[in-house]
């Protein structure tokens, strides 16, 4: 049942070059990691590996392992979750900053204040962060977003978080995928080229990729739509959302393929998670969405 989980639950998928832990529950996996030999097996397992964190726009956990009119909605993420550490009970912790607050929390483990975007009010600070921790181990830290870096004052946020370089709108092709600019495919193309160049120089890196192709209102170009919908879903907000998510999953697959072909996949820890809700409970009844899920219509 979707229930309240539909409202706020987002997925966390953690891939590394070791076999998936059992049992399957994310909470049970975490307990196993913290106890006895399980903890010893995982502690420091990623030392010396590159770290790639991918923040998916408006992505919720209920989307995984679903089909829409007999079409798998997220086949790439389904496969990734099946061979990775998968935590289905991750709850959004954002305030007015939305996506930028999710970036802040992921990089600092500090709760946003809520009423004010962290990037706007606290961008003049120097925060303890993941980037700064990894700097001490010789890593460089880069972040990628197809929008202008001034949006949500990320030009202040990224230095506050200790990133060495940010890649924003001027680094991407001038395509109009949605109101933010370039597509996720373009985001991944540029990110891969930059990261592969670092790897060829034997430079370990931390990379944050912030996607935007599944941002509301979820309308994407016709030539990028890969999901076939019936008349009941085609053209409405739910149908548009599912279509955008299906594309996001496909685009992620193109990035993973490049990582595997280059050898970066086996030298990296890859973390994928959603930043916040996609369909707000104020506008969409969870029971109605659950009914659509159960009937497949």
Catalytic residues: 99
Report the SS3 class of residue 178.
strand
CA atoms within 13 A on the CB side of 42: 20
Element (H, E) at 166: strand 165-167
Beta bridge partners of 286: none
Q: What is the rounded CA–CA span in Å between residue 216 and residue 55? A: 15
Q: Which two tokens stand for residue 53?
A: 């964190």
Residues in the chain, total: 297
CA-derived radius of gyration, the chain: 19
Alpha carbon separation from 7 to 16, 91, 280, 285, 286 (Å, rounded): 29, 9, 7, 9, 7
Report the SS3 class of residue 42.
helix
Report the SS3 class of residue 169.
helix
Report the SS3 class of residue 31.
helix
């Amino acid at each position: 049942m979707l229930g309240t989980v539909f409202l706020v639950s987002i997925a966390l998928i953690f891939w590394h070059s070791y076999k998936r832990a059992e049992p399957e529950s994310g909470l049970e996996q975490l307990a196993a990691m913290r106890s006895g030999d399980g903890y010893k097996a995982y502690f420091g397992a990623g030392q010396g590996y590159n770290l790639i964190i991918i923040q998916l726009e408006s992505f919720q956990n209920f989307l995984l392992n679903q089909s829409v009119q007999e079409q798998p909605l997220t086949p790439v993420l389904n496969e990734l979750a099946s061979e990775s550490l998968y935590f289905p009970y991750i709850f959004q912790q954002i305030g007015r900053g939305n996506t930028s607050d999710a970036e802040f929390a992921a990089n600092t483990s500090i709760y946003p204040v809520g009423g004010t975007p962290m990037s706007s009010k606290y961008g003049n600070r120097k925060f303890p962060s993941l980037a700064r921790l990894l700097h001490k181990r010789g890593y460089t830290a880069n972040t990628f977003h197809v929008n202008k870096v001034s949006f949500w004052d990320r030009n202040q946020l990224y230095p506050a978080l200790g990133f060495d370089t940010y890649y924003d709108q001027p680094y991407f092709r001038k395509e109009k995928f949605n109101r933010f600019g370039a597509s996720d495919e373009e985001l991944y193309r540029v990110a891969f080229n930059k990261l592969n160049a670092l790897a060829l120089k034997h430079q370990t890196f931390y990379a944050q990729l912030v996607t935007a192709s599944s941002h509301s209102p979820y309308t994407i170009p016709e030539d990028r739509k890969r999901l076939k919908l019936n008349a009941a879903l085609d053209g409405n907000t739910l149908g548009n959302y599912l279509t955008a998510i299906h594309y996001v999953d496909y685009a992620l697959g193109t990035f993973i393929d490049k990582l595997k072909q280059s050898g970066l996949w086996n030298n990296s820890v890859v973390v994928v998670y959603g930043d916040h809700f996609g369909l707000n409970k104020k506008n969409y009844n969870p029971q109605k969405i659950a009914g659509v899920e159960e009937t497949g219509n």
